[in-house]
Structure 1
Amino acid sequence: MNQQKRIEILTRLRDNNPHPTTELNFSSPFELLIAVILSAQATDKGVNKATDKLFSVANTPEKIYALGVDGLKEYIKTIGLYNSKAENIIKTCKDLIDKHHSQVPDNREALEALAGVGRKTANVVLNTAFGQPTIAVDTHIFRVANRTGFAPGKDVVKVEEKLLKVVPEEFKVDVHHWLILHGRYTCIARKPRCGSCLIEDLCEFKEKTDV
């Protein structure tokens, strides 16, 4: 795909949604961090259901740590992998209290040192909480980048590297959200909704649908 086409795609996505953000509910960097840890292999809708109750009771590292692993599980047991997520979150809260004055760090190295936080989670927090031009590649972004020809790559790291290389600075902060939403609602996994896609004429996918 040539760069002119990429810029047109990004321009259309921006015009359609000038101020995109995550669909996870949060009101602080800490709440976002917990929500993103919980969102691995879970839907944002499912996470929001659990965190709406959790955060009304405990929304600081101290308060969640005070719940303990078993107490936390009661709030998140509807979410996949809740046992390991509860353990990771309690460890993360302890580290935030002991090492970061209960504040979520705004750099990748410190974030990735926290339990349950990998590269993708760190990228989401850096981008959404701190406005840094990072691009977290999840299954939706991986699919859209490859299917459209926008930034093909054989694994998520390769796609992330390609996106960071080809996305102009003016689009970098928001591209993560545009591509996720596009993959979640239009360029869906089973059968993309090409007929209702605003970048269909620019997309290089060969097996387009009429839907």
Structure 2
Amino acid sequence: MNTEKRRQILTRLKANNPHPETELNFSSPFELLVAVTLSAQATDVSVNKATDKLFPIANTAHSIYALGVDGLKTYIKTIGLYNNKAANVIKACGMLIEWYDGEVPENREALEALPGVGRKTANVVLNTAFGWPTIAVDTHIDRVANRTKFAMGKNVVEVENKLLKVVPAEFKVDVHHWLILHGRYTCIARKPRCGSCIIEDLCEFKDKVYPDE
């Protein structure tokens, strides 16, 4: 895909959604960190249902740490892998309290040192909480980037590096949200909704699907 076509795609996505936001509910960097950690292999809807009950009770490193693993589990047991996630969140809270007075560090290496926090989670926190031009690549973004031929790669790291290279600076802060939402609601996995896609004519996917097919 050429540079001009990529710019046209991003321009349309921006016009359609000028101020994209994550669908996870949060009101602080710490709440976002917890929500994203819980969202691994789970839907944002399921995470929001759990955190909508958790955060009014405990929404700081100190207060969640005070719950303990078993206490935290009672709030997140509807989320997949909740046992491991509870353990990781409590350990992460302990580290945040010990090293950063309970605050979330605006630093990639520090974030990735926390249990349950990988590159993707760190990218989301840096981007959404702190406004960094990072691009977190999940399965939705990986699919959209490869299917459209916007930024092809054999794995999420390759796709991330390609996106960082080809996305103009003016779009980098928001491109993660545009692509994930596009993959979640339009360019879905089994049968892309090409007939209702605002970038259908720019997409280079050869096997487009339309309602009457």
Same fold by TM-score greater than 0.5: yes
Question: Would you say 1:26 and 2:29 are equivalent positions?
Answer: no
**1:136-189, Cα deviation, whole Å (9 max, x unpaired):** 000000000000000000000000000000000000000000000000000000
CA displacement at 1:101 relative to structure 2 = 1.2
Aligned position for 2:128? 128
Aligned position for 1:150? 150
Q: Which secondary structure does the structure 1 equivalent of 2:55 belong to?
A: helix
Aligned position for 1:204? 204
Q: Distance in 2 between matches of 1:189 and 1:200?
A: 16
Q: Distance in 1 between matches of 2:209 and 2:159?
A: 24
Aligned position for 1:192? 192
Question: Would you say 1:165 and 2:152 are equivalent positions?
Answer: no
Aligned position for 1:8? 8
Aligned position for 2:72? 72
CA displacement at 1:72 relative to structure 2 = 0.3
**1:82-102, Cα deviation, whole Å (9 max, x unpaired):** 000000000000000000111
Aligned position for 1:88? 88
Please tell me the root mean square deviation across aligned C-alpha atoms, in Å. 0.3
Q: Structure 2: which amino acid aligns with 1:157? A: V
Structure 2 unmatched runs, 5+ = none
Q: Distance in 2 between matches of 1:175 and 1:119?
A: 17
TM-score (norm 2): 0.99
Q: Structure 2: which amino acid aligns with 1:75? A: Y
Q: Distance in 2 between matches of 1:5 and 1:107?
A: 34
Q: Distance in 2 between matches of 1:147 and 1:107?
A: 32
**1:78-128, Cα deviation, whole Å (9 max, x unpaired):** 000000000000000000000011110011000000010000000000000
Q: Distance in 1 between matches of 2:6 and 2:86?
A: 40
CA displacement at 1:134 relative to structure 2 = 0.2
Q: Distance in 1 between matches of 2:197 and 2:124?
A: 25
Aligned position for 1:100? 100
Structure 1 unmatched runs, 5+ = none
Q: Structure 2: which amino acid aligns with 1:103? A: E
Q: Structure 1: which amino acid aligns with 2:56? A: S
Aligned position for 1:62? 62
CA displacement at 1:7 relative to structure 2 = 0.1
**1:47-91, Cα deviation, whole Å (9 max, x unpaired):** 000000000100000100000000000000000000000000000
Q: Which secondary structure does the structure 2 equivalent of 1:56 belong to?
A: coil
Question: Would you say 1:37 and 2:37 are equivalent positions?
Answer: yes
